[in-house]
Amino acid sequence: MARCLRVVLALGSLALPLPSQTIYARKEKLVESRFIVRYPEGSGERLNEYVARLENIPGIRRADALRRLDMAVVVCEAGADEDSVLQAIDADKDVELAVPDSWVYAFGADAQMCSANPGCRALNLQGSCCPASDGARMACCFAKPQKRSTPQSESTISLQSVHGGYITVSHFGRVGWRGKKTDPDAQIQLEAHPDGYVSLRSSHGTYLVTSPSGHLVAWHRGHRDADDWEKFKLIYNTDDTISLRSKVSDKHVSRDNSTSDMLSATTDRVEISERFMVTMTHGKDTLVPNDPRLSKLWAIDHFGDRDMDAVEAWKMSSRSVTESAQPVVVAVIDTGIDYTHPDLQESMWVNPNEIAGNGIDDDGNGIVDDVHGADFANNDGDPMDDQMHGTHCAGTIAATGNNSIGIAGVAWQGVRLMALKFLTSTGGGRTSDAVKSLNYAVAMGAQILSNSWGGSGSSSALRVAIERSEHAGVLFMAASGNDGLDNDEVPNFPANYPNENIISVASTTQKGDLSAFSCYGKTTVDVAAPGSDIYSTIPGGDYASLSGTSMATPHVSGLAALIWLYRPELAVSQVKDIILRSTVPEKSLENACVTGGRINARRAMGLASIYPAPRPPIHAPKQVLFADINPGVGRIGGSVIISAPDDQSDIEYYGVHFLSSAGVLMESIGKANVSGHKTLSIKLDNLTIPLFAKGMAAVAANSSGRMPVTAAAVLEIEDYGVPEAGPEDVSFGGDADPVAGKVGGSIKIRRACNERTVSHYNIYWQHASERGDLLGSVPAIGYLSPSCTGDCSLLNMSYENGKHLYHRDAYGNNELAVITFSGPATVKITSFLTESYYDYLKIAGTQISGTDLELPKVIHVPRGDQTLTWLSDHSEGEGGWSLELWQDGEEARFALPSSRLSSADIKVVSAYGRTELSSEAMSCPINDFDANSMPPSRAYLPDSVEFNDENVEEGVISGAIKLRLPEVRLQGIVSSYRVLLADKAGVEIPGFSWTKDLDHETTDTVRVQLPGEGLQVPDAAASVVVHAVNPSGVSAATKSTKLMDIVRSVPVFANFSGDEDPVENQIKGTVTILPAANPKNIIAYTVYLSTGDQKVSLIGRVAARQPGVVRYALHAAFRPGQSLMVVSSYADKDMEHGVVIAVEDFVESFAGYGWYGWGGYGDSTRNSGVTGGNRRLDRGGRVQEPWLKHDRKPGAGDVQPLWSATDSRTLPLPVSNAGRMPLGNRQGIFGTVTIPGFLKPIKLQTDGQDQFVPPSVRERRIIGEVLSESLPGVQHGQVKLTLGRAFKDASALPGVGSDQPAVRVMPRAASLVVDFEVLAPRLEPEALQQFFDRVEAKLILLSGAGAATARLSSALAKRLEPLGYQFAAGFQVFMGEPQQVTPKTQPGRLLQEAHEMGEASKKQHVQTAWTTSALVFLMSVAGWAAFLAMAVGRARRIKNGSEADAALESVQVHNADRATG
């Protein structure tokens, strides 16, 4: 399957490789393969035709058009050969490129990841250390921000000594301890400098100076700007105080002596006298809302002057924002948003054409109840955050301000947050779902897209989608990454795409330095913003501090919104230019980003105020007319007629656009130049209606711009389309009107198997061959009947009484079947036994695996297209499953009102709008019922019949048969019901019938009690059948239900082998079970923990087998006094009682240390619920993370460099300091291939480390040639192997477990990991881009470990066998994700130094960061580069800002439980 592109949210600290993520992604890929198909821009009018062609390609199950982006998402059939599908798609001349789908991941680290780690200790790191994804690089969390409010510009601070007095400055220059904080002499302005120091300016206009003797004075020194004598380093102490250290004396400021009130900078250490408490006083140039936790937002407002000056910007923009009629919509593309959070609910975007909670797609955009956005991870309209990351980002952007609650966002009024969820609770998501999110955001009117995620692999599909959002006037914010690496050398995407509408963001700390985790890039990262210890909203109405470039990016998104609220007429390029040109320079950032600075809202507002405004036309067209004549559903054709205004003097042309349901202009349909005529015409031919489009708008435009959509001439589009399917069946439920000559009742319509082109069904009287009067209509619901792809022949499938039955027993290896259907639906799992985690059912996003499932399990499936997937890998035991599927609305009902019988038939026709598909109409007869002379009609039968056998003996039944009566009048029409037993053919079994008379007070349900305590039932009995009876006879129609003889039997015997686990409160061993005496219908035996004969918690389940004993191995948490209980499990329930087994907990201890604390099981706390190492047991004894059992953390000693690009045996190529990426100013594409077990050790070193022989020149040439042959359009010699390493343990490779197939047969073999570059051929720029995009697409496919990778592996093995290499069956190489790198040459990336904006320009500095957390590298190019460059990279990190000793003094170590981003 297409390999999952790893993208990471910027959350928390860098984390060790999560085998859970690694294997999870690998398993996910096997479930559903997708491609993103690109068509040339402007293809919208033919997109439906293209999609139809795609769906005719063998191996493709479905194709969905993304009309806003001129793309389509293709879903392959289960088990399809993706390489063949890719070739077939690319063979279509209209296809620009097909790109395999990929996966993205949140840069998230939960609290469990942030535990103590040996690697942190080995590197002498301090703080809350979280290991990185490659297991080598480490990073530490930063100190908590000060909890004080802060002055900026006209705002001031007062510095109070811990001894009581305030620092004061007299008018003649004396600095000492005196006064109160309200004393003007105690008011000091703090000015920050780019070199990391600050100056203190008194109310008299003088700076505090360190004299040559060390005393502090405040002199007028004859210069405007502060020099080194007037600079101090701010030291943030752990007790929320600060200290000052003079730059020239390198000493701390303190009281001169105990008797003096003078200050001097003469002490070496920070003690009591060197500590000051800070009090802030805001100036009149600020606007401070009343939110109680505002002081926690150091990035918004802080006395250290490394914030973004938001309170000053709010003052500048307050009037404009208040009067703004149109809010700015910011789409947060992330894990969703908790839209119920008290600080966010007023800021949420609301879909104007959707009614919340009614279960209907009111605006017709294909998504039900998308009120606040959409969830593309789960294909529904509820983007609720089930992680944390997205809600935190949203709060930074636009948490409601001045509401006396919590905090305030950067743009706390006038912004609406659109929640677009494409990352799941695990932090993972597909690139195709990210593209869908972009499509939705642009169509629904978002101006800013905030993207705090990314990864090491590139995708041309995502790049082009961002490019097309740029054409729609959308700004795309992207986090730079959390790996602490140089993006100029090791790219991160989407931040590294060259699109002009992208702003790539790094992270800074409270001190103004680049955050330790933040990626940077002098040419690839645009700006820096605060990202360390950012306090914001999290789900559940709470707040927390997180760190990362994920936290920095929302600050820039909020600033862009603030600018647009202030100047709504500005263009995208102008807003970006303002943000980049208004940054505050910082020495520590001059090599970290293009601007060399940190964002500043006050400067941005000032710069925005002087930008010239465009002058679009003010005269609008009077009217626009259009009538569709194209019969295709979803396509239109005809002529658009525009009525021009009387005055066209300011108009150059008229543009016609689709209009979204949100009132947003979408893609252009056509253009008509002003001609002087009063009407103009634009012809449309077979044009596809984009998703979300509901209307058409004609706007006037000139070279300066186009008029706003509010002034456009608009109309609603009526699509003239013909349905493609009719109803499957139509039946009449019987005449419910007892009067002769009149009929009434229910018409049952079995919907079309696919209602994609059906809007409703029309019901008519049918007169012979002529259609009569219209009786009414029934709406379509988007119904899709179940269909299966993949290994469907292995499943037992049937349909019975409105439910679909699926069963798989004794399954084998590598099975994959995918069933597609529509919700809402209900799935009931009646039996389930699979290998834990590796073999599973996935039902509408819910994954089920293992043997410990509480049965029956009912899953309610939401509305929309859904999938049910069965997957097995290498099966390790017999098992299977059974389930039932009901679809709501499979059968529509139309209530035929009581009326004179007009015809003997009813006809039902499917329709789309006003067009019907008469050729597929269905009819049914209408029979009149006369109660005076006829037996009851079908309408008087019970609605349902139920029987539950209460006797557990085989062949004996007892209990009551329940009849739910119909909602019609029965009195005088039905006198009784006759109930009988029948065989499989429906023939009555003599001697087994009963009559239930109806009285005048009959309730909704009647019961027919079977005689005696038990009734011997004949073997032929198969069903319970009911007839309705009246004086005229017995009804011919019947209602029936299946007869189930319930049998229950407990196991004959069970015992426990004895506890093999020496740890207290844990047991391990084997339960041996002798099957029940009557095993009929037993599907499994289930083991519970119990107290006596009362079940406590489920441990697991083992399949029932006959004959012979059954064994179950368990490892579970255990409490004194508990026992084991084994019960029989049936399809409908587990028995309440069974065999109870006494258990003794074996405990062994050792003198000195014992089992606890060494990493085996548990720790010194002896908590039975959690164990140490790579395994965690819950109270039920289930292994929570079984995928961890094969993986280990790689160490630096596992890697041996073999050769580099400058090796004389290879073509020399320029490489980065990391040893890999030759970027420069040229375009390139890079990849990584891992060949497990390829290398042979030559000797064993005394330290136990093997050395490995580098591949020969011939072997390297073969590798390069095989890679060339696997890539489209690549010739021999175009693939250059730039770097080679030996990895000494394949089981420790990211994403490669120890259970992978063996390779070269030799002891201690190592894996060869090779970085390569695909060199560009000599082509024109457009053709060259197409070449690189196709190569990238194939490399993504190869990284998926599917059929294409298997073919490459086979080709490589075949070429190497003559050289003496032997490969085992199943040998496979591993491809990393590709990185396509394009130099960023747009004007916005090459900005000169920012405009000067007064004295404040001297006070700023920038930072860059994603959230601390790991990119999931998975052998990606960036991962290996980072691994080898770890030591150099951390030393090379931008360190121009502050001296090492000062930095060490300012570091605060966080508690282990500190929340991280």
The two three-digit tokens of residue 83, written as one number:
């390489």
Task: Residue count of the chain, please give it.
Answer: 1461
What is the identity of the amino acid at 445?
G
Residue 32's nearest CA partner among 816, 750, 813 is 816
- Sheet strands (E) in 966-1093: 976-982, 988-997, 1005-1009, 1015-1016, 1023-1030, 1033-1034, 1039-1042, 1051-1056, 1066-1076, 1084-1091
The two three-digit tokens of residue 51, written as one number:
């999609």
Q: Give the position of tokens 């032929």.
A: 1020
d(CA 1438, CA 516) in angstroms, rounded, equals 9
With contact defined as beta carbons under 8 Å apart, do 1201 and 1285 qualify? yes
| C-alpha torsion angle, residues 310, 316, 320, 321 (rounded to 10) | 20
With contact defined as beta carbons under 8 Å apart, do 1268 and 1321 qualify? no
Q: Is the dihedral of CA 268, 269, 274, 277 positive or negative?
A: positive
d(CA 1338, CA 1347) in angstroms, rounded, equals 12
For residue 334, indicate whether it is catalytic: yes
Laid out side by side, the sheet with 729-732 consists of: 729-732, 742-750, 891-900
d(CA 854, CA 288) in angstroms, rounded, equals 55
Laid out side by side, the sheet with 679-688 consists of: 623-625, 635-643, 679-688
DSSP string, 909-929: EEEETTEE-GGG-EEEE----
**Alpha-carbon distances, residue 1341 vs 5, 55, 407, 1344, 1371 (angstroms):** 10, 20, 45, 5, 18
From 550, 759, 910, 1343, the catalytic residue: 550
Q: Are strands 156-161 and 1310-1318 parallel, antiparallel or unpaired?
A: unpaired
3-state secondary structure (DSSP) of residue 788: strand
Residue 1308's nearest CA partner among 1327, 1289, 1329, 1282 is 1289
From 389, 760, 1115, 1405, the catalytic residue: 389
From 83, 90, 185, 334, the catalytic residue: 334
Burial group, residue 257, by CB count within 10 angstroms (0-12, 13-18, 19+): exposed
Q: Distance from CA of residue 599 to its chain's centroid?
A: 28
Q: Distance from CA of residue 1203 to its chain's centroid?
A: 39
For residue 389, indicate whether it is catalytic: yes
Dmax over CA atoms of the chain, in Å, equals 123
The two three-digit tokens of residue 67, written as one number:
């009309």
Residue 1429's nearest CA partner among 134, 492, 116, 106 is 134
- H helix or E strand, kind and range, residue 173: none
**Alpha-carbon distances, residue 638 vs 355, 420, 690, 1431 (angstroms):** 33, 35, 17, 66
d(CA 889, CA 910) in angstroms, rounded, equals 16
User: How big is the CA angle at 1128 (ends 1123 and 1129), to the nearest 5 degrees?
Assistant: 115
The two three-digit tokens of residue 1256, written as one number:
């020969």
Residue 966's nearest CA partner among 991, 942, 988 is 942
The two three-digit tokens of residue 1194, written as one number:
């790689």
The two three-digit tokens of residue 263, written as one number:
């200050």
The two three-digit tokens of residue 411, written as one number:
């743009």
For residue 550, indicate whether it is catalytic: yes
Residue 187's nearest CA partner among 208, 212, 166 is 166
Give me the active site residues, please: 334, 389, 550
